[in-house]
Structure formats: structure tokens, C-alpha cells
Structure 1
Amino acid sequence: MSGIIEQFMLMMTQSTGFSHITGGMVIMWAVCVVLFYLAIVKEFEPLLLLPITFGALLANIPTEGVLNAPHVEGLITVPGGLYYYISQGIHLELFPPIIFLGVGALTDFGPLIANPRTFLLGAAAQLGIFMTMFVAVMSGVFTPGEGASIGIIGGADGPTSIFTANKLAPHLIGPIAVAAYTYMSLVPLIQPPIMKLLTTDAERKIRMKTLRPVGKLERIIFAIVVMVAVCLVVPPASALIAMLMLGNIMRESGVVDRLTKSTQNEIINMTTIFLGTSVGLTMGAENFLQTKTLMIIVMGVVAFAFSTAGGVVFAKIMNKLSPGNPINPLIGSAGVSAVPMAARVSQVVGAQYDKQNFLLMHAMGPNVAGVIGTAVCAGYFISRLG
């Protein structure tokens, strides 16, 4: 009987993954439970948080034929696992630009074109990126490349955060991506207290002038001009900006509806699944359970808060310089890249003080500018530090 038990225990040790479970993996299972809760129960950015969490769980289970890289055994080349190849979409910089293609196809650039002053709000909302990079580097814990990658979290742009981290700090993609998408999902919770703290009751009730109509030709010219300008000024951002503008030109041209609908739905949805799980697979216990991870999560929320404040405060400054055409400072918070969530938050907070004040379309101006601004910042960091 004892011999049978010994053989069974030997089989359990050699033929299963139980013997490979570590304490770190168990801790990561608990982390995954929390993330699943946030994604499924609280619905915090579930489209990405759910696949990221699934990937993280898979990364912390002893598996075979899923994550392994290609290798040679004798004279035979053994192919890699399924997600080894899928994750190449991050390493080869395919997924973030494809996501930008979908964002461009889904986004109306008209409010930004109709009120180009809001470009300045999108620029001001990048404050958190540079503040956080400075703090990270001055801490002595992070290199300039790591600090820049962490700072991009302040732009509330997940694909750009991943794109930058892959260039400058690939070993930090997991915690940076989780922080970026978590704070994107928490926009309705994080931004309103900052917006209310920095504005007066009268400022929140400012009604802005109705935006002028923007024609098709103007929209297409805008997309082309911005793409060319950004590609010339910061070439490393070309992949993101080019795909963003391609998606928008497809949308505005009105002649490729089938392609536009595919981009808005099937393409971006499939890419989101692969991007999320690939990011999660980088969250192995050996990489994620470090002091740096906690610091990244803390600095990420600081970056996001400063970016929100930067847009709001700069709108107040613009009102001092141009009192005849005031801007409601609440739309300054939409200068972060969380499209269109940040714009909706501006509308919701404004409606609390004036139910007839419609800020959504006005807020889309800085929101789109924030997407472009964050990509430009990423391109600048990559050109300087890559």
C-alpha cells in the first residue's frame, strides 16, 4: 500500500504542476481575484482589465505549451507556445498602433477643430507626465527611461503607456499597464474631487459658445496636417499618430463604411483581447511582487491627479487672459487621453451645477488634444532616451 502511495506522490510531483507552485504565485492569485472583482463586479474598464487579469492568472500557473519560447532539442526545433507568438504583438509594436486605428475611427475631431484653443488644454494636461518622470528619476530608484514610462500613465492612455514602456522599460510593462488602465477606469472617481477643489461655483456654471459646424474637407485636412507635423517633429510617435489619423480619415471620408465599421468593432475588439492577455502574461510573481510595482501604482495616481489639475488650472488662466470668450474650467480635466470617458466626466460634473449646461462636445476638444499630446510626449521620450 505504501508503495502505491509513493508512486502516486511521485507522479504528482513529476507529471503535474503542483510542485512548481510558489508562494509568490499564490499571492498573485489573490491579486487576480481583486482585479477580477474590479473588472466584473465594479465594471472598471472591463474590456481590458478582464483579459489583463486572465493573462496575469495564466502567468502564475505552471503551464506547458502556452508561454514557452521556441527552442532546439537535438536536431529538432520545438515551436513556442500559443501566447509566445500572440505576445509578439506587443514586442513588435503591433497592438498599440492598431488600438489607435480603432480610436481614430471612433472619435469625432470636430470639436477640437472648431475650437483650436482647446489644444492648449490638452497640452497643459500633460503636466502630470513630466512631474512624475522628474519625481521617479529624483528618487534614485528608477532610470530616466523607467521614469518616462511611468510618467506616461499620467496621460491616462493605456496603449501609449505600453508602447513607451516596451521601448524604454520592457520589464515594467505589466505594472505600468495595470496602473494605466486601472486609473483610466477610475476617471469618474478620481477627477471630480480635483475638479471641484480647483474651481468656484461660478466657474462651473460657465456656458461656452456653441461650436461652429466643421465640414468633411476641413476634418480630413486637419488629420493629414497633424499627422505630417507630428511625424516630422517626433518621428518615434509616427506609428501611433499615423494609425490614429488613418482611422479618423476613414471615418470622415464616408466612402469606406465597411472598413470603418470593422475597425470600430471586430479589429479593435480582437486586438484588445490579445493586448490585454499579453500584458497580463508579463505579470509573473517574480516581476510583479517588487517594491517598484507599489511605487509605480502610487506615482501613477499622482501623475493622473497632476494631469487633471494641469488642464483645469490652465483653463482658468486662459479665462484671465481672454475674459470675453470664457472656457468652463471643468473641460480642462478632459485633457487627459481617456476618450471619451474624461469628456463625459466634465459633462456630469457640470450638470450637477447647471443641468442645462452641455459641456460634452466642448470637452471632446481637449480630450482629442490629450490623445495627440500624450503620443507626442511618448515620441519625445523615446527619441531622447531610447
Structure 2
Amino acid sequence: MEIINMFVDTIKNLALESGFAGIDFKTLIMFIISGVLIYLAIGRQFEPLLLLPIAFGMLLTNLPGAEMFHSEFFQGTSIDYGQVLHDGGLLDILYLGVKLGIYPPLIFLGIGAMTDFGPLIANPKSFLLGAAAQAGIFFTFIVAAFLPFYSLQEAGAIAIIGGADGPTAIYVAKTLAPQLLGSIAVAAYSYMALVPVIQPPIMRALTTKKERSVIMEQLRPVSRIEKILFPIIVTLVVSLLVPSAAPLMGMLMLGNIMKESGVVDRLVKTAQNELMNIITIFLGVTVGATATADVFLSFKTLGIIALGLAAFCLGTAAGVLFGKIMYKATGGKVNPLIGSAGVSAVPMAARVSQKVGQKENPANFLLMHAMGPNVAGVIGSAVAAGVLLSVLG
């Protein structure tokens, strides 16, 4: 009889100490949300390289009793690194790369190593389209700042979603509103994945058939010396104007000058592949880990989704409208559709410009013209991030 009682007590203790005992309604909802994001990443291929790790990170952080991530370790302005290393779980240690601002610049290093700035150099006016598309960020910041639910820092972190640049959104959010990092990252990458769905209706609504049918002149060839000087000049100008943008801009242009130099192929391949892939895994899982049930399941998250969508739509609209201005100013030589590529979703936004333009005129090839504003948008979003960090950080 005593043995039976011991067996029963052991079973009871195991049941009470297991994760099943800690599952509540909020935990179940987070499991469902994680499952939906995993489906979107695998089944629909919505930004799978980062959405899949983010979704699985959400699953891991909400496992009762797993103790893989402790958000309380990272609250406040200072971090007790000894506590993190001694008492922290796996995701706590990996999250230091986000909190210290290491992962996003390294992602930018890989992006720079894969980016051709030739179309932007060949048509410097593209800078204006990339700058115009950042209007959605600042307009949304003003709107969010007036809402009673968000502080100025939170408004800035939410507004950066309008740049359609995941690493930049994470870089800003980890400084201005780390408690909203998971929600902001999920919103940013979701809208990046939905670029082919969101942008075309806006583009068609703001342009005429005649404007969409404009065939642009072929871009001039860009010399190797121009491509080598470009990252050096941009780094100096942008970093001196907005020092807070230097980590992102510096790494972006370092990757690009390595690519264009032609003398460090091994480093370029590492930045494009192994390093990029490793950091992508760490960044995705740890950002997902910040989406705990208490933080993610809140009214603020719904606001982030709505404001992030507004920022992205406004950025697209601002780029197209500025493209119409250039269309008028050049006597009809600029197709306004390329202005929509001024957001930083490379190269998806440029492909959407090409697709919409070719639907109106099968002889239209806008891809290379749209790549100019598209890569300008990468620079523009980094500058916008630097401005927000300088003002609000």
C-alpha cells in the first residue's frame, strides 16, 4: 500500500511540475499565433527566412517552465550581465546580440554585400524617391505620438515599420521600446511579405494608365571607380549628418565596398552566406522570444499592427506621388510607379513596380529603374532610424 501511495504521489508531483500544469488561456493563444506564423512562413512562404525563426521563438518563450527567456533581465537602462550569464536561459544569452545592437548591423553587412548600387549611381534622382517614401514613418510617428496609448519612444519604434526594413525596425525598437520588440518585428516582416498584395492597389489608385505605361530610357553604364567611391562617400556624408545611423550605414557600405572591390571574394561570400544565415537564425529566434503572452496579447499590439500598416501604405503613396511630380517635371520621362519602390523592401518592391508597369505595357521594363529608389530606400530607412534615435533615444 505504501508503495502505491508513493507511486501516486510521484505521478502527482510530475504532473504539477510539468509544463502542462502551467498552460493557461493566454499560453494557448500564443501557441495558436505561433502556429499561424509557422504556416505563413512554410505554407505561404511569407518572409520564411526570418518569420519561421520568429514564430518558433514565440513558441519557445511561451513554454511554461522552460525558463529559456526572462524579459525582466532586460528591463531598465542597465543590464546585469552576470545575472544573465549565470541564471539566464539559452535565449537570454542569444538576446544580448539584439540588446547590444550587434545583430541588425551584421545583417546590414550581408545586405550590403549582396546589393548593387549601380542603378542609384546611374540615376541620382532616385535618392529623392527613396527619401519621399520615408514620409510614412514621420507622419505615423506624429499620429502615434498623439495617441494616449503610446509614449514618444514607442511611437518612434512603431513608425519605423513604415520603412519596410526588418533589421532597422528591430534596431530602433530594441532601444526605444524593447517591450514592443516582438510585436513590431512580426508586423514589420509581415508587411514586407505582403508587399505584392498591399502596394499594387495604391499604385493604381494614384496613377493614370498613361503614367503607368511610360517607358524609361536605359540607364547609363556605371564605372567600377564610381561603385567603389560611392560607399565611402555615403558613409562619410550620412554618418557625419546623423551619427546615430553610423552602425547601420557603416556596415551596409562595408559589405558593399567589399563586393565592389573584387579583392576579398572570401569575405564577401562569408558575409552573403554563412554569417548572414547564422545571424538571421539568432536574430529571428531571440526577437520571437520577446513576444511573451503578457506583452503580445495587449491592445498595444493591435495598435502596432494598424499603425504599421498605415505607415507602410503612406510610405508607398508618398513615393508614388513624388514620382508623379518627377513625371511632370521631366516632361513624362519618369514612370511614377518606380516611386513605390522607395520603401526598403529589397528587391520585392522593385519587382512589384516592374510587374504593375508591365501589366499596362508589355514592352515596359522598370526593374532596374525601380532598383534605384529601392536601394535608396535602404539608405533612407537607416537615416530615418538615426534621426529617431537621436531625437528620442
TM-score w.r.t. the length of structure 1 is 0.95
d(CA) in 2 for partners of 1:25, 1:309: 38
Aligned residues: CA RMSD: 1.7
Residues 1:334 and 2:369 are matched in the alignment: no
Structure 1 pair 71/272, CA: closer, same or farther in 2 (3 Å)? closer
Uncovered stretches (5+) of structure 2, i.e. residues with no partner: 74-79
Is this contact kept in 2: 1:121–1:366, CA < 8 A? yes
d(CA) in 1 for partners of 2:215, 2:357: 10
Residue by residue over 1:63-106, the C-alpha shift from the partner in whole angstroms, topping out at 9 and shown as x without a partner, is: 44633568999xxx845322211111100101100000011011
Is this contact kept in 2: 1:71–1:80, CA < 8 A? no
Residue by residue over 1:193-219, the C-alpha shift from the partner in whole angstroms, topping out at 9 and shown as x without a partner, is: 111111111111101111000011111
Which residue of 268, 276, 279 maps to 2:284?
Answer: 276
Structure 1 pair 71/132, CA: closer, same or farther in 2 (3 Å)? closer
Residues 1:288 and 2:296 are matched in the alignment: yes
Is this contact kept in 2: 1:184–1:338, CA < 8 A? yes
| Match of residue 183 from structure 1 | 191
TM-score w.r.t. the length of structure 2 is 0.94
Matches within 5 A, 1:200-219: 200-219=208-227
Uncovered stretches (5+) of structure 1, i.e. residues with no partner: none
Residues 1:10 and 2:40 are matched in the alignment: no
Residue 273 of structure 2 aligns to a residue whose secondary structure is: helix
| Match of residue 59 from structure 2 | 57
Residue by residue over 1:40-70, the C-alpha shift from the partner in whole angstroms, topping out at 9 and shown as x without a partner, is: 1011000000000000000110244633568
Which residue of 343, 360, 368 maps to 1:361?
Answer: 368
Residue 355 of structure 1 aligns to a residue whose secondary structure is: coil
Is this contact kept in 2: 1:71–1:79, CA < 8 A? no
Number of equivalent positions: 381
2:32 is matched by which residue type in structure 1? A
d(CA) in 2 for partners of 1:175, 1:78: 28
Matches within 5 A, 1:77-226: 78-226=86-234
d(CA) in 2 for partners of 1:198, 1:217: 39
d(CA) in 1 for partners of 2:327, 2:205: 18
Which residue of 43, 46, 70 maps to 1:44?
Answer: 46
d(CA) in 2 for partners of 1:311, 1:102: 26
| Match of residue 322 from structure 2 | 314
For residue 126 of structure 1, report the CA deviation from its aligned partner.
0.7
With 118-127 and 20-29 compared, the bigger mean Cα shift is at 20-29
Structure 1 pair 235/41, CA: closer, same or farther in 2 (3 Å)? same
Runs of 4+ in structure 1 off by over 4 angstroms are: 68-73
| Match of residue 31 from structure 1 | 33
Is this contact kept in 1: 2:134–2:343, CA < 8 A? yes
d(CA) in 1 for partners of 2:324, 2:337: 9
d(CA) in 1 for partners of 2:378, 2:102: 18
With 304-313 and 132-141 compared, the bigger mean Cα shift is at 132-141
1:249 is matched by which residue type in structure 2? I
Residue 148 of structure 2 aligns to a residue whose secondary structure is: coil
With 231-240 and 139-148 compared, the bigger mean Cα shift is at 139-148
Residues 1:343 and 2:345 are matched in the alignment: no
d(CA) in 2 for partners of 1:78, 1:365: 48
With 329-338 and 4-13 compared, the bigger mean Cα shift is at 4-13
